[in-house]
Amino acid sequence: MPFKFEKLLVWQKAIDLTALLHNVTLKFPKEEMYVLTSQIKRAADSVALNIAEGSTGQTNPEFKRFLSFALRSNIEVVSCIYIAQKRNIISQEDFDSIYNLCQEILAMINSLKLSLK
């Protein structure tokens, strides 16, 4: 693995989140394609992208800044699934899977931020 971020378990989990959300949003109604579907997929992608971008060639304070962006995007995903639940377009099982993965990613991002001096 030539890139530092590929070794980070939190980045790997973020990639899992993008795959999970891609599969779940395939079930969303067409009228949500350019609204909630787009928003939730961009937010999930942003988690992985910010972890990757911040991890390589950055100072620790700069990496922490990118991890903060990733954390906010992760929270945005959670807000999106609540909206999807209120609109009755996501199953409880899918909601729980995404929510639990987001909780895990949140804890991992916070731990990684604390480990950086």
CATH number at residue 18: 1.20.1440.60
CB 4 within 8 A of CB 78: no
Nearest CA among 110, 7, 87, 5 for reference residue 40: 87
Output the pTM of the full model: 0.94
Whole-angstrom CA distances from 102 to 6, 21, 68, 72, 73 are: 19, 11, 14, 11, 10
Q: What is the pLDDT along the chain (117 residues), one digit of tens a residue?
A: 689 899 999 999 999 999 999 999 999 999 999 999 999 999 999 999 999 999 988 899 999 999 999 999 999 999 999 999 999 999 999 999 999 999 999 999 999 999 997
Q: What's the rounded Cα separation, in Å, for the pair 78 and 62?
A: 25
- Please give the distance of CA 43 from its chain centroid, rounded to a whole number: 6
Q: Which residue range(s) make up the domain with 11?
A: 4-115
Q: What's the rounded Cα separation, in Å, for the pair 26 and 22?
A: 6
Domain tally for the chain?
Answer: 1
